[in-house]
């Protein structure tokens, strides 16, 4: 299986967010998108719970940079399409998301989809998962997608830090800004 690599264009995957609203990845174009995969019932502290802790730290770090925060968006995608309905994701997300006056899920959304949609997006990013009795055994993936819709970074573990991710988000945003400046100058 090939895994998404830096520079790869990300397909415009369709999902459903915590409000039951259809979303697609292209709608985040112009912003850096950081996404991770979890399932809400994951009992392994070093897996989904740690991914959520890291995303919460990333959300906090972005909020401390008022110039960068609006240029980034966080997306947590559940690969448990049977259990993690939009309502479950909304309830789960409330424990992590901070409303900074824009609405609870304005900068950090939670999403799921049909089995086919989830298989397509997890396959693209190289996330492996399978049912194993009462739980889902899975690998880890967190990805940073630049404002141009191309992969900037893929982490295959939970060893990354919020500071590292912010540096990547900042770099992607700066690259996008330089690209826009060149386009304006060429006109």
Could you give the number of structural domains in the chain? 1
Measure the CA–CA gap between 78 and 110, rounded to whole angstroms: 8
Asked, for residue 107, whether it belongs to a domain, the answer is yes
Q: What is the mean pLDDT of residues 172-183?
A: 65
**pTM of the entire predicted model:** 0.93
In this structure, are strands 72-78 and 32-38 parallel, antiparallel, or unpaired? Answer: parallel
pLDDT of residue 1: 55
pLDDT computed for residue 8 by the predictor: 97
Each residue's pLDDT tens digit, 29-79: 999 999 999 999 999 999 999 999 999 999 999 999 999 999 999 999 999
**67: domain range?**
14-186
The CA distance from 26 to 14, in Å, is 9
**Rounded mean pLDDT, 144-150:** 97
31 near 72, Cβ under 8 Å? yes
Kindly state whether residue 125 falls inside one of the protein's structural domains. yes
Q: Identify the CATH number of the domain in which residue 163 sits.
A: 3.40.30.10
Q: Per the domain annotation, does 8 fall within a domain?
A: no
């Amino acid at each position: 299986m090939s895994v998404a690599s830096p520079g790869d264009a990300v397909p415009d995957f369709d999902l459903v967010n915590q409000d039951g609203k259809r979303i697609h990845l292209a709608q985040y174009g112009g912003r850096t998108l950081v996404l991770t995969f979890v399932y809400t019932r994951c009992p392994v502290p070093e897996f989904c719970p740690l991914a959520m802790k890291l995303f919460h730290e990333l959300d906090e770090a972005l909020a401390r940079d008022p110039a960068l925060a609006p240029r980034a968006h966080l997306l947590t995608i559940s690969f448990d399409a049977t259990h993690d309905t939009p309502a479950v994701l909304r309830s789960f997300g409330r424990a992590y998301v901070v409303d900074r006056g824009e609405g609870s899920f304005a900068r950090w959304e939670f999403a799921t989809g049909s089995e086919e949609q989830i298989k397509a997006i997890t396959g693209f990013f190289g996330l492996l998962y399978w049912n194993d009795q009462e739980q889902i055994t899975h690998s880890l993936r967190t990805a940073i997608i630049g404002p141009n819709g191309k992969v900037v970074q893929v982490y295959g573990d939970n060893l990354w830090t919020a500071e590292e991710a912010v540096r990547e988000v900042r770099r992607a945003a700066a690259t996008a800004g330089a690209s826009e400046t060149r386009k304006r100058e060429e006109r």
